[in-house]
A and B are shown apart, each in its own frame.
Chain A
Amino acid sequence: MSVVQITNGKAPAVAKRAAQRDWLFIAALIVFGVIALAALLGPWIAPYDPYALSGEVNGAASPDHLFGTDDLGRDILSRVLVGAQASVFAPIAVVILSTVLGVAFALIGAWFGGWVSGTIARIIDVIFAIPGLVVAVLAVAMFGKGLVAPIVALSIAYIPVVARLSQTAASRELGKPYVAALRVQGVSSWAILLRHLLPAMVPIVAAQMAIGFGYSMLDLAAISFLGLGQQPPAPDWGSMISTGQAGITAGAPEQSVFPAILVVITVLAVGIIGARVTVWAEEKDA
């Protein structure tokens, strides 16, 4: 009898899916690499001065202006390239800051347990209760407009999610018999933390970083959209989307659409990369 149809000669579905995902991963890497490179070199490869009026107002895409021109007649491609620095590297800074702080909280809480863990949990609850965007707006009100305030504010706002997930992972790992075995061997606490515990948390932290990048890119774009981030005339994708909204109804959507597409593509690419890194780390774990 046959319980399941024999898959004679065909590669198992599992293997195929893995191969497909790898192809997607490579594409995502290339896309993100190009975007990051463009962001780095933006000011040098921009075809026009992003602040100069180089064409007609609300010009359509054309060989002269690949992405068209904005409501003041500035080249959109040049502005996108120059604005990429703020739009791509600011979320990365947010992710790194919030991950470092969140994981630190998580490790301290999981390691000491008891009242330490309880106190940290309450602090995190308080941070969690305040919407990130509100913190960002408050920070801007306090520190003035610019990129630093939103970055700091969002980093703090993202700590709770990172800390919660990481602490669960860390506590579970610490409860495993091999940690007790390491202690009996006399291995120092630092070695257990850095050599055994942190690597075990890579999958969940990597996944969280990818999601965090997406959220912070969108949140930063929203802050710029509100006019609180990067200040005009300096370009960034969020403020470009914002100032372009009048053009959407007026039949000149380029100014909003191109940066918006780039936001989506970047978030997607980072999400795919993060998912793949998580799978790798888990495979190494199994």
Chain B
Amino acid sequence: MSAPVLEIADLDIFAPGIEGPRQLVFGSSLTVQRGQAVGLVGESGSGKTLTVRAVAGLLPEGFTTNGQIRIDGADLGTMAPRALRELRAHRLGMIFQTPRAHLNPLRSIGDFMIEALVHVAGAKPDAARAHAIELLAEVGISDPGRRMRQFPAELSGGLLQRVMIAATLAMDPDILLADEITTALDVTTQEEVMAVIADLRTHRELSLLFITHDLALAGSVCDRVNVMQHGRIVETLNAATMRQDATDEYTKLLMSAALDEAPPIAANDVESGPIMVIDDLFKTYQVRGATGAKEKLIAVDGVSMQLAPGGSLGIVGESGSGKSTTARVLLGLEHADSGTITVDGQDWSAPACRGSERRERAKIAQMVFQDPYQSLDRRQTIRQCLTEAIRVHRPKDAKTTVAARVSELMGQVRLDEALLDTRPRALSGGQRQRVAIARALAADPVLLVLDEAVSALDVTTQVEILTLLDTIRRDTGVALLMITHDLTVIRRLCDHVVVMRQGVIEERGTAADILDHPQAEYTKLLLDSIPREGWTPRRRRLGRTQALPTVTRSSIIPR
């Protein structure tokens, strides 16, 4: 048998620090044989991305390594810089999480594809162009000739990711390094991209090093899976039998978080009227179309729903389904075009005009945002943040009363009070989201809207936060409106579900019905796209190929 395509032996990685180098990766070793797909699974901070970056020579400045990395038997450490660059350019192909950030928005897809072929491979422009079109076709992009003339902003995330894959194929690499390539994509698009990769592997004898936080996904597309935690590879498993073979506690924890065999929450029968009613809501945006003409984007198209007091309703949908817009309209962050919203018996169809009205509404409904890194003011300490949220409603309370309430809130979200005087950057993602939840609870609301509140978190943290939210719901009787793209989140938290697609409700019902006996085709598609045991990615349909119009300036500010 020939040498493995990629072999990493006892790799240590150090970050520069003021008191000497800090070790981040400890003796990680893995091997990728020719044609094999190997997964590297771990949560943020586990060192999986550093490992793959060390292979690609993309470590941040000042980082140092020990140990060996061999590509096709050649030790990278002993090679001259020029030879090293040649080897990496021709043998490795690297794909990243955010294709949009890696493409120049002012250059067309064709420019991007041809540039590498002409300047690195030395092809003639005409030949390069023909080859680029072939490559785009190979990754399943329809009408590649037209795509060549388009710009990154005109293509959807899934399509751009395929363009990136096509570009790496230009050098005909032996191994693809894929770093969280589907994390930013919708679950159906993820399946498309993974299906493309699976096709390429059969046709090209391509090896794959697949970095992901999703153990189920890695298990279903890889031959072997390495689980990484705190900079160490804790376990290497055969993907097909990983559920039976896993011995490490952390692997089991990851599996239980991903697998999710918990039964859906039963709907509780409440006799009283709904706390929130949305009736026939419409919301459109003026956007510039492909030709530059003004077009109307219908974000929310006649949506109605209601939520019982103390209940939990999930709105599920992919990006562009209008689920977040619905929540923003509900909370007065956007104006609705038409339709009525009633919360707690009051008419909330239009955003509050005056400050006093806004404060009144804030007492009733609160929101937790998706990204805990951005939804907290980075200059405020946690104490200042919570105090501000309490003071809004109780400006005249004594300092001690407010301080007591801060402690109470910290207890409610299970956070150590020692963290009160730190700023958000010192906290982990899960801790920040707990702060955001505590802040939302400060007003003692009857309705808590969670806009993708766990999707930016690691899977194990997700489970913790969802459990916490469920406990809070049971303890305080707050009703939850959970907006998510992830059906497994629904399973843990919601009793009723609304499935949305392109602004329209496709299906609604109790969580048990929707998750176990879906009726609508779209719901079935969503459920089928979730990676699980025995799942193989398939090309089901042509995914969305156009970029969603982005509405950049939100109308959070009153006109």
Chain A contact residues, CB within 8 Å of chain B: 1-7, 9, 11-15, 111-114, 171, 174-189, 191, 195-196, 199-200, 284-286
Partner of A4, one of B61, B355, B389: B61
Q: Which B residues touch A186, using CB under 8 A?
A: 355, 358-363, 392-393, 443
Given A6-B64, A184-B362, are A12 and B379 neighbors across the interface (CB < 8 Å)?
no
A3 touches B425 (CB 8 A): no
Closest B-chain residue to A188, C-beta based?
A: B355
B499 within 8 A of A: no
Q: Which A residues touch B377, using CB under 8 A?
A: 178, 182, 196
Of A12, A113, A175, A186, chain B has the most CB atoms within 10 Å of the CB of A186
A180 touches B63 (CB 8 A): no
Closest B-chain residue to A110, C-beta based?
A: B557
Partner of B556, one of A9, A15, A183: A183
The 7 A-B pairs at the shortest CB distance, nearest first, are namely A1-B77, A186-B362, A186-B359, A177-B375, A177-B374, A184-B367, A12-B16
B376 touches A185 (CB 8 A): no
The tally of residues in B whose CB lies under 8 Å from a CB in A reads: 62
Q: Which A residues touch B64, using CB under 8 A?
A: 2-7
Given A175-B553, A183-B358, are A1 and B65 neighbors across the interface (CB < 8 Å)?
yes
Partner of B67, one of A1, A13, A183: A1
Q: How far, in Å, is B413 (CB) from chain A's closest CB?
A: 16
Q: Which B residues touch A2, using CB under 8 A?
A: 64-66, 77
Q: How far, in Å, is A243 (CB) from chain B's closest CB?
A: 50
Q: Which A residues touch B67, using CB under 8 A?
A: 1
- List 19 interface pairs A-B (beta carbons < 8 Å), by A numbering: A2-B64, A5-B64, A6-B64, A9-B20, A12-B17, A15-B18, A113-B553, A175-B552, A175-B553, A177-B369, A178-B378, A180-B333, A184-B332, A184-B333, A186-B359, A186-B363, A189-B355, A200-B379, A285-B379
Q: Which A residues touch B355, using CB under 8 A?
A: 186, 188-189
Closest A-chain residue to B79, C-beta based?
A: A1
User: In the bound complex, how far is the Cα of B363 from the Cα of A11, in angstroms?
Assistant: 52
Provide the B141-170 mask, 1 if CB < 8 A to any CB of A, else 0.
000000000000000000000000000000
B378 touches A285 (CB 8 A): yes
A187 touches B388 (CB 8 A): yes
B392 touches A183 (CB 8 A): no
B78 within 8 A of A: yes
User: In the bound complex, how far is the Cα of B392 from the Cα of A186, in angstroms?
Assistant: 7
A180 touches B554 (CB 8 A): yes
| Interchain Cβ contacts within 8 Å, total number | 128
Q: Which A residues touch B366, using CB under 8 A?
A: 184-185
Q: How far, in Å, is A206 (CB) from chain B's closest CB?
A: 15
Q: Which B residues touch A7, using CB under 8 A?
A: 16, 21, 62, 64
B177 within 8 A of A: no
B389 touches A185 (CB 8 A): yes
B559 within 8 A of A: yes
B298 within 8 A of A: no
Partner of A6, one of B21, B442, B443, B557: B21
Provide the B35-66 mask, 1 if CB < 8 A to any CB of A, else 0.
00000000000000000001001010111111
B75 within 8 A of A: yes
A184 touches B18 (CB 8 A): no
B392 touches A187 (CB 8 A): yes
A1 touches B76 (CB 8 A): yes
Closest A-chain residue to B333, C-beta based?
A: A180
Q: Which B residues touch A3, using CB under 8 A?
A: 54, 57, 59, 63-65
Q: Known pairs A181-B436, A182-B377, A183-B556; list 17 more (Cβ under 8 Å).
A: A2-B64, A2-B65, A3-B54, A4-B59, A4-B64, A6-B64, A7-B21, A9-B20, A111-B557, A113-B553, A177-B370, A180-B554, A180-B556, A184-B331, A186-B392, A196-B380, A200-B379
B69 within 8 A of A: yes
Q: Which A residues touch B328, using CB under 8 A?
A: 180
Q: Which B residues touch A14, using CB under 8 A?
A: 16, 62
Provide the B303-342 mask, 1 if CB < 8 A to any CB of A, else 0.
0000000000000000000000000100111000000000
B491 within 8 A of A: no
A185 touches B559 (CB 8 A): no
User: In the bound complex, how far is the Cα of B66 from the Cα of A1, in angstroms?
Assistant: 6
Closest A-chain residue to B17, C-beta based?
A: A12
B115 within 8 A of A: no
Q: How far, in Å, is A267 (CB) from chain B's closest CB?
A: 30
User: In the bound complex, how far is the Cα of B69 from the Cα of A67, in angstroms?
Assistant: 68
User: In the bound complex, how far is the Cα of B363 from the Cα of A191, in angstroms?
Assistant: 18
B523 within 8 A of A: no
B371 within 8 A of A: yes
A1 touches B75 (CB 8 A): yes
Q: Which B residues touch A175, using CB under 8 A?
A: 552-554
Q: How far, in Å, is B438 (CB) from chain A's closest CB?
A: 12
Q: How far, in Å, is A62 (CB) from chain B's closest CB?
A: 52
Q: How far, in Å, is B47 (CB) from chain A's closest CB?
A: 15
A174 touches B556 (CB 8 A): yes
B224 within 8 A of A: no
A185 touches B375 (CB 8 A): no
